């Protein structure tokens, strides 16, 4: 279960980082 939990949190983290990068790219 710990592996599944870490995988799920990693997925959310990736989505968050991608949105931040896209927002920063559009700002330029």
In tens, the pLDDT along 1-28 reads 688 888 888 888 999 999 999 999 999 8
Q: What angle do CA 1, 16, 11 make, to 5 degrees?
A: 25
Per-residue pLDDT, 22: 96
- How many domains, in total, are found in the chain? 1
For the entire predicted model, the pTM comes to 0.51
Domain range for 10 is 1-28
Nearest-Å Rg of the Cα atoms of the chain is: 12
As a whole number of angstroms, the distance between CA 10 and CA 4 comes to 10
């Amino acid at each position: 279960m710990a592996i599944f939990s870490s995988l799920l949190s990693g997925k959310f983290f990736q989505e968050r980082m991608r949105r931040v990068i896209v927002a920063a790219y559009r700002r330029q």
